[in-house]
Amino acid sequence: MFQELHDLLGPQGCLTGADVPEAARSDGSRSGQMLPLALLRPATVEQVSAALAICHRHGQKVVVQGGMTGLAGGANALGGEVALSLSRLSGVEEIDAVQGVMVLRAGTVLEVAQRAAEAAGFLLPIDLGARGSCQIGGNIATNAGGLRVIRHGTTRENVLGLEVVQADGTVLSHLNRGVKDNTGYDLRHLFAGSEGTLGVITRAVLRLRPLPAAPETALCALEDFGAVVRLLQMAQRSVTVAAFEAMWREYFALSQSLTGKVLFADVPPFAVILEAEGGGLQPLLEAAFEEGVIFDALVAQSTAEARDFWAVREGHALDASLRGLINLDVSLPVARMADYADDVTAAVLAQFPGAHVSFFGHVGDSNLHVAIAVPDPDPQKEQAVDRIAYDAVRARGGSISAEHGIGTLKRDWLGHSRSPAELAAMRAIKAALDPKGILNPGKVI
């Protein structure tokens, strides 16, 4: 089989043994243990198809790898897989300015696609902190969320057409460019968020928007979570909200001190980054002051100042400084977020005194990120933390994965958010599209 793959893809396209780079071992969750048996790097859709046909014939398991920034372990080999990387299948093929769409290959890095859209006067409305490494195929396969969901929806909502290679090498191509397309089952939405378990995404048609003027950005200080909700409601009524990101005191304090960017010397109970497109931020802030919703605010006077706000929110410094940091990504009704945070904090501290527990996230999308670091971390403690956080999600009717996906890290918790009947339907779909079970086995379900 390896000889067949080597003959098909050539020495650059089929790496084995010591030539397989360490980077193929783990995604951004840093949970991967195994190197894949080989790293396949097809450069064309035809090569993806032929490589999968070979693997299918031999019953060879395949793990699909994009930019390896995923946070759920979905792109990691578990043992005995070959990895199929989309990195060489990259590039923007076309920007159709009349239709307002972009056609591109799955291995295109998100930031490259964003720049190409901007150069043509458009906004590609998908954006996340990993933009410099993650790929469009990975974004679609995880249905990535990120910073612009409140304005433009998740990745899925910006995909108009898809080309996917099935487990046996069959190419399903529906590179539709229209917003309306009710021609039977919408396979596009099935593959979006399927995390490499149903097919390999090779090309996509993405929706573009007119490039907006730079948004106005404010960092607001608030007394309690009720005020955060009121500010969100006021903003949604009076401006075009481009971002609404909340940080609880513990998160803001630590991230601010680690980044060395002192934005509020007196750390407020809650801080919110509010971005508005098309003006109207100043009157909104004045009204929020008058109504006692916010008690302080900084308005960015330059892109650099806005970037400082975002540096504190993105919190990369926490990843580097907190050993064994557990990053959870849950979805909850907004009205239940405050008591969720209080209950999870109390439960974690009761079990692990001295732990760091903090909250931040895309509150406007009902999405909360939880950052927890316990003293002397180990897998059992991580499991205990997951249980506390996910039991509390289930009790509030939330989702254990708002945007990062399930992969391996959340697979055993999927039943907290999905019923046995739903899981059975998912297994039936998997069996229908990949009857030999060669694509990303052990992931999601």
Ligand X SMILES: Cc1cc2nc3c(=O)[nH]c(=O)nc-3n(C[C@H](O)[C@H](O)[C@H](O)COP(=O)(O)OP(=O)(O)OC[C@H]3O[C@@H](n4cnc5c(N)ncnc54)[C@H](O)[C@@H]3O)c2cc1C
Shortest distance in whole angstroms from residue 105 CB to ligand X = 9
Residue 190: how many other CB atoms lie within 10 Å: 15
If DSSP states are collapsed to H, E and C, what string results for the chain?
CHHHHHHHHHHHHEEEHHHCCHHHCCCCCCCCCECCCEEECCCCHHHHHHHHHHHHHHCCCEEEECCCCCCCCCCCECCCCEEEECCCCCCEEEEECCCCEEEEECCCEHHHHHHHHHHCCEECCCECCCCCCCEHHHHHHCCCCECCHHHHCCHHHHEEEEEEECCCCCEEEECCCCCCCCCCCCHHHHHCCCCCCCCEEEEEEEECEECCCCCEEEEEEECCHHHHHHHHHHHHHHCEEEEEEEEEHHHHHHHHHHHCCCCCCCCCCEEEEEEEECCCHHHHHHHHHHCCCCCEEEECCCHHHHHHHHHHHHCHHHHHHCCCCEEEEEECCHHHHHHHHHHHHHHHHHHCCCCEEEEEECHHHCEEEEEEECCCCCHHHHHHHHHHHHHHHHHCCCECCCCCCCCCCCHHHHHHCCCHHHHHHHHHHHHHHCCCCCECCCCCC
Give, as ranges, the residues between 373 and 432 that touch ligand X (CB under 6 A): 403-404, 407
Residue choice 150, 201, 222, 311 for contact with ligand X (CB under 6 A): 201
Give, as ranges, the residues between 304 and 343 that touch ligand X (CB under 6 A): none
440 binds ligand X (CB under 6 A): yes
- Chain position whose Cβ is nearest to ligand X: 138
206 binds ligand X (CB under 6 A): no
Residue choice 68, 243, 306, 388 for contact with ligand X (CB under 6 A): 68
Give the residue with the Cβ less far from ligand X, 99 or 133.
Answer: 133
# binding residues, ligand X (CB under 6 A): 36
371 binds ligand X (CB under 6 A): no
105 binds ligand X (CB under 6 A): no
Residue choice 36, 169, 196, 268 for contact with ligand X (CB under 6 A): 196
Among the candidate windows 137-145, 253-261, 266-274, 372-380, which touches ligand X by CB under 6 A? 137-145
215 binds ligand X (CB under 6 A): no
Give the residue with the Cβ less far from ligand X, 144 or 247.
Answer: 144
d(CA 159, CA 154): 9
Shortest distance in whole angstroms from residue 134 CB to ligand X = 4
Shortest distance in whole angstroms from residue 293 CB to ligand X = 26
Residue choice 13, 42, 146, 442 for contact with ligand X (CB under 6 A): 146
433 binds ligand X (CB under 6 A): no
144 binds ligand X (CB under 6 A): yes
Which residues, other chains included, contact 13 with Cβ-Cβ below 8 Å and sequence gap of 6+?
A: 40, 41, 42, 43, 47, 88
| Spatial strand order in the sheet of 200-207 | 92-96, 101-105, 200-207, 159-165, 171-174
Structure tokens at 164: 């996917």
166 binds ligand X (CB under 6 A): no
135 binds ligand X (CB under 6 A): yes
Among the candidate windows 67-75, 281-289, 344-352, 382-390, which touches ligand X by CB under 6 A? 67-75
203 binds ligand X (CB under 6 A): no
Residue choice 32, 36, 125, 137 for contact with ligand X (CB under 6 A): 137
Residue choice 53, 75, 160, 192 for contact with ligand X (CB under 6 A): 75
d(CA 361, CA 146): 10
Residue choice 13, 28, 161, 442 for contact with ligand X (CB under 6 A): 28
Among the candidate windows 128-136, 224-232, 268-276, 430-438, which touches ligand X by CB under 6 A? 128-136
Among the candidate windows 117-125, 132-140, 287-295, 393-401, which touches ligand X by CB under 6 A? 132-140
Among the candidate windows 136-144, 226-234, 255-263, 422-430, which touches ligand X by CB under 6 A? 136-144
Shortest distance in whole angstroms from residue 263 CB to ligand X = 21
| Residues making contact with ligand X (CB under 6 A) | 27-28, 64-71, 74-75, 86, 106, 128-130, 134-135, 137-139, 141-142, 144-146, 195-196, 200-201, 403-404, 407, 440, 443
